[in-house]
Amino acid sequence: MADSYLSAPPRRKPFLRGCLTVLLVLGGFFALLVIISRMDNLPLARGEKVAVILVSGLISDSEPTIEQLKKFGKDDSVKAIVLRIDSPGGGVGPSQEIYEEVKKARAKKPVLASMGALAASGGYYIACAAQRVYANPGTITGSIGVIMPFMNVKDLVEKIGVKGMTVKSGVFKDMGSPMRDMTPQERELLQGVVDNVHLQFVNAVAAGRNLNREDVLRIADGRIFTGEQARGLGLVDVLGNLEDAISDAGKLGKISGEPKVVTSPKKRISFLELLREETRTLIDEKLSGNHLRMDLLAQ
């Protein structure tokens, strides 16, 4: 009896083995999904790609767009780039930084701009750096201008008995304070800054679109145009949609057949990062209203 007991094989654990098998299968399945989801960004089909970079919403941070322009500019398998712009504009600095990076990418390969529903102010500024600009007939574009908005709540705070006090190092250090009226000297100084940036905008449009500077000045008063109107003024090259721009980009990139379209994967952020970003944006919008902007909505 004892010998029989000692010679018996050890008991197996089929439940644990089954669980392990299921985990391995699921792990392999999810790994395969990750690989497939990133296939568009792997250089497997060299010489057959057109990259599409989306520029949407308020232009406040140039880094994501510049990062993509550099990435696709260095990728030999990407033969052309299309900027898809759906933006009312935004900050002067970020718009100019993207404009300059588009010019650098254009020196390496064709870069086209496709306007969606709205591509105005800073959005149009960026488009001017492209080799060819596409717009729908009803696209809202133009708004070639610069704005520096201020708010004056002096009368309101006086009614409720609040007084503001400022200690400053120079006479112009608190320009644009909402607690007092702007002086003539301050207005003149700020107008000079706005006019200078406006001329930079005009020069960028004239250079990018190969237009006479005086002709651009005549329409650079902040007015908006439809895509059809912009085409007649030389601000747009082709009336067409995103698919037209991608097709032509493939031809300019000497791609035979239908080009493969690739985009950068969306950056994954945590809930806390999203909350922090939204809070920072809200604070910037509320407290930094006196920043120079190329922004259709602000007008």
**3-state SS assignment for residue 47:** coil
DSSP character at residue 161: T
Query: Which residue in this structure is represented by tokens 């201020």?
Result: 150
**3-state SS assignment for residue 261:** strand
Q: Which residues are catalytic?
A: 121, 173
**3-state SS assignment for residue 262:** strand
Q: For residues 139 and 226, is the Cβ–Cβ distance under 8 A?
A: yes
Radius of gyration of the CA atoms of the chain, in A: 28
In angstroms, rounded to a whole number, what is the distance separating the alpha carbons of residues 223 and 202? Answer: 13
- With b for 16 or more beta-carbon neighbours within 10 A and e for fewer, the 98-116 pattern comes to bbebbbebbeebbbbbbbb
Q: What is the largest CA-CA distance in the chain?
A: 111
Counting every residue written for the chain, the total comes to 299
Q: Which of 289, 291, 287 is nearest to 92 (CA)?
A: 291
